[in-house]
Amino acid sequence: MKSKVRLFFAAALGIATLALLQGAVTVGLLPLLIGAFGSVSVISPVVNLVAIPFFTFVIVPIVLVATLLLPMNEWLGGQMAQFAAQLLTWSWPVLEWASELPMATWH
């Protein structure tokens, strides 16, 4: 039972740390974003909490393995690259949906 409680608190601490980091990055970039684009995405911190790990731990490793495999086994490397492309195709509508939410951008 103690191990489950410890695991829960470790996960909660990890999520809190990610949220804190995302908040710090967002606040730190506010002046640059407002100066360059004239607006700030309100939904981006929430979307980034999901998108950054997805791209970092799923898409990028698949693409790297596909790149390494292409010279050795063109068919297998191509299949992995197509799989990564398909994952991107599936994720794009979710990102578009998030960007079209009301109040997604603050002007």
Give 24-80 pLDDT, tens digit per residue: 888 898 899 889 988 888 888 888 888 988 999 999 999 999 999 999 999 999 999
Residue 14 has pLDDT above 90, yes or no: no
Cβ pair 23, 42 in contact under 8 A: no
Sign of CA dihedral 10, 11, 15, 18: positive
Quickly list DSSP for 66-89.
HHHHTTT-HHHHHHHHHHHHHHHH
The pTM for the full model equals: 0.72
**Tell me, what's the pLDDT at 5?**
83
What residues contact 16, with CB distance under 8 A and at least 6 apart? none
Q: Side chain identity at 48, as an amino acid letter?
A: N
**Tell me, what's the pLDDT at 46?**
83
**Tell me, what's the pLDDT at 81?**
97
